[in-house]
Amino acid sequence: MARWFALGLALAVVGSIAGACGSSAAASAESRKPAAQIYADALRASSSARSVHVTGTLMMNGQNLYEDLVIGQSQGGGSISIGGNRIGVFADSQWVDMNASASTWEALSKDPSSSKLADKWAEFPASSSLFKDLGINNLPDFVKSLFNQNPTQFVKGRLTTVHGVPAIPLTIPGQGSMYIASQGVPYLLGFQGAGLGAVFDQWNVVSPPTPPSGATPAVDLLK
């Protein structure tokens, strides 16, 4: 599917949506609307939310990363794993804080001196080009980057469920599908297509992360 993430963030969840979908769900007022209207409702609701939990595999700078993140209105964080190497992460508009073991830093940076960052919250400027694709520190922009398709392209599918939540599939034939909550607030529950996918839950329920205490600029830790 054409770029689901205008910010450059691609979430590739192998089988996460297909494996979580049920076969049927009760019809609702939302599910009776045209596909383009459901799309518009989901964009409005999801971009206005306070927070969301996102799980799956992150593709960034050509690498696959497993992620478990909470994204809020102006900050986000959680964990990212690359080849079994786990990194704690927090991001807001000014800083990206990361915490990892010595072996993880060395494996990722290929620089032995990076072990000085081991098990400490190392702080990096969010403006760095290294983090231009991270996209976890602004939920409205994050959501809008997902909804970058022409709504008239979508075809409404048969009602299903995603992790037990009634869902409306909106599909661009041959490209991929978005899954929108059928009952209650029409939040985005997930999407899949062209090897990409993501699962979204706990809308407005999960609390956005707070900055880690004791974070120190990485340049100081590396001295």
Query: pLDDT tens across 35-53, in order?
Result: 999 999 999 999 999 999 9
Exposed/middle/buried for residue 104 (C-beta within 10 Å: 0-12, 13-18, 19+): buried
Contact of 143 with 5, CB cutoff 8 Å: no
* Count of Cβ atoms closer than 10 Å to residue 62 Cβ: 5
CB 159 within 8 A of CB 168: yes
Per-residue pLDDT tens digits for 90-127: 999 899 999 999 999 988 888 888 889 999 999 999 88
User: Which segments of 52-138 does DSSP mark as H helices, in order?
Assistant: 102-109
Tell me what pLDDT residue 7 has.
28
For domain 10-201, which CATH number applies: 2.60.40, 2.40.320, 2.60.98, 2.50.20?
Answer: 2.50.20
- Separation between Cα atoms, residue 190 and residue 16, nearest integer Å: 9
pTM of the model: 0.81
Q: What is the pLDDT of residue 6?
A: 28
Please list the ranges in the chain whose pLDDT falls under 70: 1-26, 58-64, 132-133, 194-196
Residues counted in the chain: 223
Instruction: Report the relative pairing of strands 216-217 and 122-125 from DSSP bridges.
Output: parallel
pLDDT at 22: 54
Tokens standing for residue 206: 């999960």
State phi, psi for 112 to the nearest 5 degrees: -55, -30
Find all residues with CB under 8 Å of 130, minimum gap 6, and list them.
Answer: 124
What does the alpha-carbon distance between residue 123 and residue 134 come to, in Å, rounded to a whole number? 15
Burial of 8 from C-beta contacts in 10 A (0-12 / 13-18 / 19+): middle
